[in-house]
Structure 1
Amino acid sequence: MSGIEDTQHLIGIPEWYAGKNIFITGSTGFMGKVLVEKLLRDCPDINCLYLLIRRKKGMEPAQRKEEYFSSEIFDLLRKSNPGQFEKIRIIKGDVLQDNLGISEDDHAELMKNVNVVFHCAANVRFDQPLRQAVEMNTVGTHRALQLAEGIKNLKVFVHVSTSYCHCNEDVLEEHAYPSPHNPIGIIHMIRSLNDGLLEQITPKLLNGLPNTYAYTKALTEGLVQTYDGKLPIIVCRPSIVTAVKSEPLPGWVEGTNGPTGLMIGAARGVIRTMHCNPDYPSDLVPVDTAINALIVAAWDRAQMQTNHIEFMNVCLSHKNLPTWGENLETGKRIFYENPLCFSLWYPDGSIKSNYYHHLFAVLFFHYLPAYLIDMGLVLIGQKPFLVRVQKKVSTGLKVLQYYTTKIWVFKNDKLENLPQKLSPRDRERFDLTVDQINWEKYLHDMIMGVRVYLLKESPETIPQARRILRRLYILDRVIVFAFYGLMFWFLWNYLEVILDSIGGFFNLCLGFTHSV
C-alpha cells in the first residue's frame, strides 16, 4: 500500500484498535470466527465487537451466541482472558433483509459508535442458483456499504472478496477490474425474472466464469468500486482458505468446502479419482494468516488520508506453494498413519491430468462399485445410498476441477510488504510469513484437525482405525485380484469366440461391399 511513510505507522496495531468499535458481518463463518477470536485476544483494549447474527433453525441470535462461543477456537481465550467475551454485542439482523434487518435502536447505535467494518458475509457455495448468489453476495454487500455510508466516524471498511473473482485473468494484479455487468442492473433483473428464465440466461451471463460464486464476487467488486471516493475501503482477496496454521489452535477447521471435503471423501474411500494437474501449485492460505492480513490491512488502510479504494491479494507466493500432486502424496501418507474410523473402502485414490483417463476411473471406481453395493443392499432389504452419494461427488468434482486444472499468478506485493511496516512485536503477534511454512507439519495438523474438530474422532481411536484400514486393504486387494482373474478367465475362454465373431462381422461387411 503505497504512499505511507513509516512515521505514520508508529502506533502499534493493538494500540490503534484500542477503544475502537468494530462491526462484523459473517462472524459465524469459518473466517469470521477466527477474526473475532484474534481481535479479542490480541487487541485486548478494543471497546466493542458488534456481530450481525441472524435467526437460524429456530434459534434466536442470543441463543446462537452461547453455541457460537462454545467452539474450540475460543478455548485459549476462555483460559487466558475470559472477560473479553463481555465486549461482544449481538446485533440481530440478516444481510438478506433490507437495512440488514437491524432495528432502529441498533442502527442508531451503530451509526454513532462503529469505527471499523469487516464485511465477511458471503455464500461460498459454487452451485447456488444465480438469484440466491446475487442476493447474498452482491445485494448483501450493497446493504453493508449503505450502512457504512451513515457511520459518523468510520475509519475503514474491509470487504472480503476472493482471488478467484476474476479467474478469466491468468495474472491477478492488486487493482480494480471491470465488472462483468452493471451490478445494479443485474440486481433489478434477478428480481424481475422468474427462476426458469434466470436458469436459461445464467450461462450467457457467466460468459466463461465457472460458477455463480465467481460471477457474483466479480459483480460485487464492481459494486464496491462505485463507492470509490466515498468510503475508506480495502478489498482483500484470499485464495483457498484452509485450516489454522499456528494459533490459536493448529489444525482447527470448520465446514467441508474445498480441500477439506476432498480430504474427507478421499480418506473414506468415496473419492478415488480427480481431474487435476499434479504439477500445478495449490493456492492455499492458512486461515490465521488470512485473518492477520485482514486485521493489519485495516490498520494500514486507515492511515491513508484518502477514500480511494485499495486492493490486496491475500495469497502465498508460488515459490513456497506445494503442488496438488505433492499435497496428495503427503496427505495419503499422513492419512495412512492416522486413518478415519469409518471408511466405505480402502483410500487409494489418485489424480489424473487426462480428462478421459479420469472419466474411465469414475466409471469403474466410483459408479460400478456403487451400483454393485446398492444392488447388494436391495437384495438384503436395506436402503441403497451409494449411487446417490457418488452423483453428489461427481457434481462437486466437476465444479472443483476448473480450479485444479488451471494455473493463476496472484500478485501479492502488498501482503509481502506489510511486515516491513510493523514493529518487531507486531510482526510476531500478527504473523504474515508467507515463505516459510512447513507444509509437512501443516498438512499433518490439518488432517488431525479434520479428525478431531470436524469428525469428532479423538486420537485414542487411531489404533482401532488402523486395524480397520488393514482389513479394508486386504479386502481391496482380494477384490482387485478377483476382478482381474475373472477378466483373464473370460478372455481365455471366450477369446476365440470373440475373434471369430469379429472376423465374421468383417467378412459380412466385405461381402456387402462387393455386392454393392
Structure 2
Amino acid sequence: MSSIAAYYNGKTVLITGATGFMGKVLVEKLLRSSPGVKAVYILVRPKAGQSMQNRVVTMVKCKIFDRIREEHPNFHEKIKPINAELTQPNLAISPEDAQELASQINVVFHCAATVRFDEPLKHALLLNVRGTQQLLLLARQMQKLEAFIHISTAYANCPRRYIDEVIYPTPVDPQRLLDLVEWMDESLIQEITPKLIKEWPNTYTFTKALAEYLIVQEKGNLNAAIIRPSIVGASWHEPFPGWIDNYNGTSGIFIAAGKGILQTIKANIDAVADIIPVDVVINITLAAGWYTAVHRPKSMLVYNCTTGGTNPFCWGEMEDYVRSAFKRFPLDQPFRTPNAIITSNYLIYQYWITVRHKVPALLYDLYLRLTGRKPRMMKIFNRLHKMIMLLEYFSCQSWEWNSDNLTMLINQLSPEDRKLFSIDVRQLHWPEYIENYCLGAKKYVLKEDLSGIPAAKQHLRKLRNIRYAFNTTLLVIIWRVFIARSQMARNIWYFVVSLCYKFLYYFKASSTLNH
C-alpha cells in the first residue's frame, strides 16, 4: 500500500480553487488514489449566473472524472461544497460552515488564485493575497489541521535569475499594500502599478510573491509548505495523457498554431520552455501534504516544481514538435497550414506580424464584409498578439532553479509511492508529451472528433495547394511588373538564379563523389 494514499484515507480535506484546471485534477487524483478519504470540502462561489450547486454538478460531469466514475461511481458523494468568496472578510463563509470546517479539516490545499497576467492590481491583491490571508485565519482555527499546502508559482521571484527554495522578502509589506488599495481610487492604483510591482513583469507574479511572504508572517504554528510549479501544461499520464481544459499559456499558443492563425511568436529558441505536466504538480502537492503532516519539518519547506533543471526543453524544439504533431493530428478547418516560426529578433518579428498576421486578417475581414458577414479575424489577431506579448517575458529568457527539497521528497517515497504518485520528470519524453498535448487540445478543449482527422488532412492539402498557387501568382506578378521592365532587375534576377543553379550542381557533384 502506498504510504501517501494510506495517509489520506480517513482524512477530511479542504480544497480551494477546486473548479479550476489544477483543482479538478487534485480532486480527481485524491478521490481515486485514496478512495477511503472521509470527505473533500471545496470552496465554491456562484459565477456567471450559475449557483454553487450547479457549478459542482458541472464540475463532476467533466471528462477528467470519467476514470474515477468507472472505478467509484459514487465518488461525488464525498465532495462537500461550501459557499465562499475569497475576496470577502472571513471568506464570506457562514458561521455554521466555518464551525464545521474548524472541527473537521485535516489538510488544506490552497489552489485558488487569479492566473491572469494583466489582472488589475487591486483585484489580484484581493484574490491572491487577501484570500490567502483569510484562509490562514480560518486554518488557524482548525483543531485537527495537520498540513496547509499553498500553490504558488515558480515565477513568483522571476526578477532573480537563480531561485532557491526559500521565501524571499518583498519590496513592500503585503498588509500595508492591502490597506493602501482599500481606500485608493481604482484609476490611481492603475497609474502607480508599474512603480509598485517594479521588476516584476505582471501583477500575477508580484502578488504571488506577496502571498508567499504573507504566509511566513501569518502562518503561526501551522505546518505549512509551498509548491512552486513553472508553466503548468497538459497531463502526462493521469487520468489520461494530454488532458487539458483551457486556453491559458502554452495551450492557447498550441491551438492558435494548429489552427494556422499563429504564424510567428517572439521567443528565444535556446531559452528553456519550462513546462511541467499538471499531474506531476498534483502528485507533488499530495506528496508534500503527506510529508508535511507525517514528518512535520522544523521549518516551512518550499518545492520548486520545474523541468528546466532536470529535463530541459527549449522553445526551438517545441516549434518542431508542435508542427509535427499537428501534421499527424490536424485540427478541424484550420485557417492556414500550421507553420509557426519562432524568432527573438524584434524587426523580423514585426515583419512577420505584418505579413503573416495583419495583412491576411485584413484581407479575410474584407472578404467577410463583402459577403455580408461580420468581420472577426483582426479582433482574433489582436487578442493573440496581446497574449504573446504577456508571455514574451517568459519565452525569451531562462531561469536556474534549486530543487533540493523536491529531490529530498522523491527520496522519501517508497517504490509504491513513486509508482502511484509519479513526480520524477527525468523520465518525461518531450516529443511524445507535446504530441499528446496537441492531441489533448484537439479532443478536450476544442472537442473535435478524431474520426475527422482524414478530412482535416485533406483540408490541409487544399490549403497547401492554395498557398503554392498564390505564391506562384505573386511571383509572376512581381516578374511582370518589376523585373521584366528593368534591365538591371533582370540582370540581378539572372545572377541569383545562376548562383542557385551552381550551388545545386556543386551539391549534386559532391554527393556523387561521396557515393
* Common fold: TM-score over 0.5: yes
Write the distance in 1 (CA, Å) between the matches of 2:285 and 2:217.
22
Residue matched to 1:78: 69
Question: Does residue 309 of structure 1 match 2:300?
Answer: yes
Deviation digits for residues 182-210 of structure 1 (CA, Å, limit 9, x no counterpart): 11111122221212211111111121211
Among 251, 257, 276, the residue aligned to 1:285:
276
3-state DSSP class of the match of 2:226?
strand
8 Å contact kept, 2:133–2:218: no
Residue matched to 1:219: 210
8 Å contact kept, 2:273–2:308: no
The range that moved more, 300-309 or 145-154, is 300-309
Write the distance in 1 (CA, Å) between the matches of 2:388 and 2:310.
27
Write the distance in 1 (CA, Å) between the matches of 2:178 and 2:480.
63
Residue 307 of structure 1 and its aligned partner are, at CA, apart by 6.2
Question: Does residue 201 of structure 1 match 2:192?
Answer: yes
Write the distance in 2 (CA, Å) between the matches of 1:496 and 1:176.
70
Write the distance in 2 (CA, Å) between the matches of 1:346 and 1:74.
34
Question: Does residue 395 of structure 1 match 2:386?
Answer: yes
8 Å contact kept, 1:174–1:412: yes
Question: Does residue 103 of structure 1 match 2:94?
Answer: yes
3-state DSSP class of the match of 1:165?
helix
Cα 1:368–1:107 shift into 2, 3 Å: same
Map 1:474-485 to 2 at 5 A: 474-485=465-476
Q: Which amino acid aligns with 2:135?
A: A
Deviation digits for residues 61-90 of structure 1 (CA, Å, limit 9, x no counterpart): 112221111111111111112233221111
Residue matched to 1:51: 42
Deviation digits for residues 119-168 of structure 1 (CA, Å, limit 9, x no counterpart): 00011011111111111111111111111111112111000000011110
Unaligned 5+ residue runs, structure 1? 1-9, 499-516
Write the distance in 2 (CA, Å) between the matches of 1:11 and 1:129.
44
Write the distance in 1 (CA, Å) between the matches of 2:201 and 2:475.
39
Residue matched to 1:503: none
Q: Which amino acid aligns with 2:440?
A: G
Residue matched to 1:508: none
Q: Which amino acid aligns with 1:268?
A: K
Question: Does residue 118 of structure 1 match 2:109?
Answer: yes
Write the distance in 1 (CA, Å) between the matches of 2:271 and 2:436.
23
3-state DSSP class of the match of 1:178?
coil
Unaligned 5+ residue runs, structure 2? 490-515
Write the distance in 2 (CA, Å) between the matches of 1:133 and 1:486.
54
Residue 410 of structure 1 and its aligned partner are, at CA, apart by 1.6
Write the distance in 2 (CA, Å) between the matches of 1:295 and 1:339.
36
Write the distance in 2 (CA, Å) between the matches of 1:144 and 1:480.
60
Cα 1:144–1:485 shift into 2, 3 Å: farther
8 Å contact kept, 1:229–1:306: no
Cα 1:11–1:40 shift into 2, 3 Å: closer
Cα 1:90–1:372 shift into 2, 3 Å: same
The range that moved more, 287-296 or 52-61, is 52-61
Question: Does residue 384 of structure 1 match 2:375?
Answer: yes
3-state DSSP class of the match of 1:295?
helix
The TM-score, its normalising length taken from structure 2, stands at 0.91
Deviation digits for residues 380-427 of structure 1 (CA, Å, limit 9, x no counterpart): 322111111111111111111110101101222222222221221111
The TM-score, its normalising length taken from structure 1, stands at 0.91
Question: Does residue 486 of structure 1 match 2:456?
Answer: no
The range that moved more, 26-35 or 306-315, is 306-315
Residue matched to 1:163: 154
3-state DSSP class of the match of 2:145?
coil
3-state DSSP class of the match of 2:48?
coil
Cα 1:495–1:233 shift into 2, 3 Å: farther
Residue matched to 2:402: 411
Deviation digits for residues 232-261 of structure 1 (CA, Å, limit 9, x no counterpart): 110110011111111211111011001100
8 Å contact kept, 1:316–1:434: yes
Among 305, 315, 318, the residue aligned to 1:324:
315
Map 1:5-44 to 2 at 5 A: 12-44=3-35
Deviation digits for residues 444-464 of structure 1 (CA, Å, limit 9, x no counterpart): 211111111111111101011
8 Å contact kept, 1:242–1:287: yes
The range that moved more, 115-124 or 130-139, is 130-139
8 Å contact kept, 2:255–2:438: no
Residue 316 of structure 1 and its aligned partner are, at CA, apart by 2.0
Write the distance in 1 (CA, Å) between the matches of 2:37 and 2:128.
28
8 Å contact kept, 1:25–1:118: yes
Write the distance in 2 (CA, Å) between the matches of 1:342 and 1:220.
43
Cα 1:11–1:471 shift into 2, 3 Å: closer
Question: Does residue 135 of structure 1 match 2:126?
Answer: yes
Write the distance in 1 (CA, Å) between the matches of 2:297 and 2:221.
9
3-state DSSP class of the match of 2:15?
strand
Among 228, 235, 249, the residue aligned to 1:244:
235
Q: Which amino acid aligns with 2:104?
A: N
Question: Does residue 262 of structure 1 match 2:253?
Answer: yes
Q: Which amino acid aligns with 2:264?
A: T
Among 441, 452, 455, the residue aligned to 1:464:
455
3-state DSSP class of the match of 1:269?
coil
Among 275, 284, 288, the residue aligned to 1:297:
288
Among 346, 357, 379, the residue aligned to 1:355:
346
3-state DSSP class of the match of 2:227?
strand
Alignment RMSD: 1.8
Residue 279 of structure 1 and its aligned partner are, at CA, apart by 1.4
Residue 496 of structure 1 and its aligned partner are, at CA, apart by 8.5
3-state DSSP class of the match of 1:237?
strand
Q: Which amino acid aligns with 1:380?
A: T
Map 1:331-370 to 2 at 5 A: 331-370=322-361
Q: Which amino acid aligns with 2:426?
A: D
Residue 497 of structure 1 and its aligned partner are, at CA, apart by 12
Write the distance in 2 (CA, Å) between the matches of 1:416 and 1:256.
31
The range that moved more, 214-223 or 158-167, is 214-223
Aligned length: 489
Question: Does residue 185 of structure 1 match 2:192?
Answer: no
Among 35, 57, 60, the residue aligned to 1:69:
60
